[in-house]
């Protein structure tokens, strides 16, 4: 039985796969330090409670219609959730505290930890005199930088002429202006976005601290700059998935476990793993370009195509007739994969990725070089760090063309350029893995976080 410290922590994840994963990983870390864990979650994308029997799960209604749960507009989805979840969340906390039989038991709840994209939780926490920590699921460089976008717009920095597309964004390096343009491409919603980002900044400043799913080794510069924005402690305790805690899945999708025996039959570092994450959608023509690019390499690949990720199609039925048969064991396409297990497999030699932060860090931790194909939001910045700063991958620069994909895979898997990339990512992997070991930077910050929570 786990040793308990008699304290409870309440966690409230945003119901997106990339936000649920780090929150559940944090829950496991804190549970290993003796905390009781209560997870409040929405009906939409509810985490699988059966996978985490030691935690208490409390579901609240989110008011989303079936049509709204299918939207591809993540900004709209988050806006709707913020509009409709405040009252149910407050009622859940009220009931949770009322069920405590004594004042002493009420005091056992130490704090609330929730996602930075929840805008109402700070006010609710304050009404219960409950300290709140913000969980940053982005690279901290992006978290700091994206809060400055309203300022950039006020100062006339946005928009900018096409001739400056390759220039660096002065307050947001190593992002280029063309990357920022893709992040902010829907200018009609700029006023709404600016207001939303301003509220994130305001509510975060009133919190008790920020927990960052990164480490000093990956975010040193931005962490050093954080005291210019925030006056409270920052706790970079990541990467959370390699802390020495019990493994269990927090995936919203059922992984195809046949990936692993298939990989077992492949040669070491011979397979390119391809996955664009849990949210990205592509067109039929882009699906075809990726398929042909991978096939034309004559190298092995494992490709995740999430059902519903191709516009207007259920899955891969728009691929040419006979394409799957033509692969002849060279390629495998699945609906979802056990990604951490796949990236750790000896057969994987490269990762064609959208560069979501979870995927990027998981790839670094296994020393797998990347081919960057970012689509939106923080993916743009993560890809720039991969290609331009750490130099551990190749950037496709948004080109979803078969010749470009074939060329990038060959450069990474077969050329001397790929060997140099592999040496650099192996060195970075070792640094990052040391951070969570006893005495490492993340381990020390975790100790500080535990002490801070226990002080309430």
Find, among 239, 246, 259, 240, the residue nearest to 432 by Cα.
239
Residue 115: other Cβ atoms inside 10 A: 21
**CB of 412 closer than 8 Å to CB of 394:** yes
- In angstroms, the CA 248 to CA 263 distance is 21
What's residue 195's pLDDT? Answer: 86
Classified as helix, coil or strand, 221 is helix
pTM, 2 dp: 0.93
What's residue 292's pLDDT? Answer: 95
CATH number of the structural domain 259-433: 3.40.50.2000
Give phi and psi for 223, each to the nearest 5.
-65, -35
Please list the rounded mean pLDDT of every run of 10 residues in the chain (456 residues). Answer: 80 94 94 95 93 94 92 88 97 89 64 96 97 96 87 76 85 88 68 85 96 94 90 92 71 90 96 94 94 95 94 89 87 95 97 96 97 94 97 95 97 94 97 95 96 95
What's residue 186's pLDDT? Answer: 52
Tokens of 356: 């979501």
What's residue 164's pLDDT? Answer: 86
Bridge partners of 38?
10, 56
Classify residue 284 as exposed, middle or buried by CB count within 10 Å of its CB (0-12, 13-18, 19+): middle
Place of tokens 């900018």: 160
DSSP code string of 277-318: TTT--B-HHHHHHHHHHHHHTTSEEEEE--TT-BTT-SSSTT
What's residue 1's pLDDT? Answer: 43
The pLDDT tens digits of the residues spanning 139-184 come to 999 999 888 888 877 777 777 788 888 988 888 889 998 888 888 7
Q: Which CATH architecture has domain 8-137+207-244+436-454?
A: 3-Layer(aba) Sandwich (3.40)
Classify residue 188 as exposed, middle or buried by CB count within 10 Å of its CB (0-12, 13-18, 19+): exposed
What's residue 194's pLDDT? Answer: 84
- In angstroms, the CA 3 to CA 31 distance is 9
The dihedral over CA atoms of 179, 185, 189, 193, expressed in degrees to the nearest 10, equals: -10
What's residue 192's pLDDT? Answer: 77
Which residues belong to CATH 3.40.50.2000 in the chain? 8-137+207-244+436-454, 259-433
């Amino acid at each position: 039985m786990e040793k308990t410290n008699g304290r409870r922590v309440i966690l409230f994840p945003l119901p997106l796969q990339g936000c649920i994963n780090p929150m559940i990983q944090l829950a496991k870390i804190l549970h290993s330090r003796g905390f009781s864990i209560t997870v409040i979650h929405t009906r939409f994308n509810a985490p699988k409670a059966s996978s985490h029997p030691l935690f208490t799960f409390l579901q609240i209604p989110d008011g989303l219609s079936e049509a709204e749960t299918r939207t591809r507009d993540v900004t709209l989805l988050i806006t709707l959730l913020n509009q409709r979840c405040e009252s149910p969340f407050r009622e859940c906390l009220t009931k949770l505290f009322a069920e405590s039989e004594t004042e002493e038991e009420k005091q056992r709840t130490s704090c609330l930890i929730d996602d930075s994209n929840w805008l109402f939780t700070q006010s609710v926490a304050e009404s219960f005199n409950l300290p709140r920590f913000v969980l940053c699921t982005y690279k901290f460089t992006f978290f700091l930088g994206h809060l400055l976008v309203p300022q950039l717009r006020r100062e006339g920095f946005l928009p900018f002429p096409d001739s400056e597309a390759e220039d660096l964004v002065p307050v947001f390096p190593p992002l280029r202006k063309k990357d920022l343009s893709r992040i902010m491409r829907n200018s009609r919603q700029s006023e709404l976005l600016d207001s939303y980002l301003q509220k994130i900044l305001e509510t975060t400043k009133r919190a008790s601290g920020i927990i960052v799913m990164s480490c000093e080794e990956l975010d040193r510069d931005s962490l050093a700059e954080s005291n210019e924005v925030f006056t409270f402690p920052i706790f970079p305790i990541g990467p959370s998935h390699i802390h020495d805690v019990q493994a269990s899945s927090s995936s919203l999708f059922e992984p195809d476990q046949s990936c692993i025996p298939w990989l077992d039959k492949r040669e070491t570092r011979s397979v390119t793993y391809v996955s664009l994450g849990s949210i990205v959608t592509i067109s039929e023509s882009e699906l075809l370009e990726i398929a042909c690019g991978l096939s034309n390499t004559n190298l092995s690949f494992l490709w995740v195509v999430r059902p519903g990720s191709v516009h207007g199609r259920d899955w891969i039925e728009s691929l040419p007739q006979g394409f799957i048969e033509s692969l002849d064991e060279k390629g495998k396409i699945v609906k979802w994969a056990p990604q951490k297990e796949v990236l750790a497999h000896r057969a994987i030699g490269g990762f064609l990725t959208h560069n979501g932060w979870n995927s990027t860090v998981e790839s670094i931790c296994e020393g797998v070089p990347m081919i960057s194909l970012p689509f939106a939001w923080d993916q743009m910045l993560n890809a720039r760090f991969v290609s331009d700063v750490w130099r551990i991958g190749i950037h496709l620069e948004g080109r979803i063309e078969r010749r470009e994909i074939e060329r990038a895979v060959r450069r990474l898997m077969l050329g001397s350029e790929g060997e140099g990339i592999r040496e650099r990512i192996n060195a970075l992997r070792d640094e990052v893995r040391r951070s969570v070991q006893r005495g490492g930077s993340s381990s020390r910050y975790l100790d500080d976080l535990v002490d801070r929570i226990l002080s309430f």
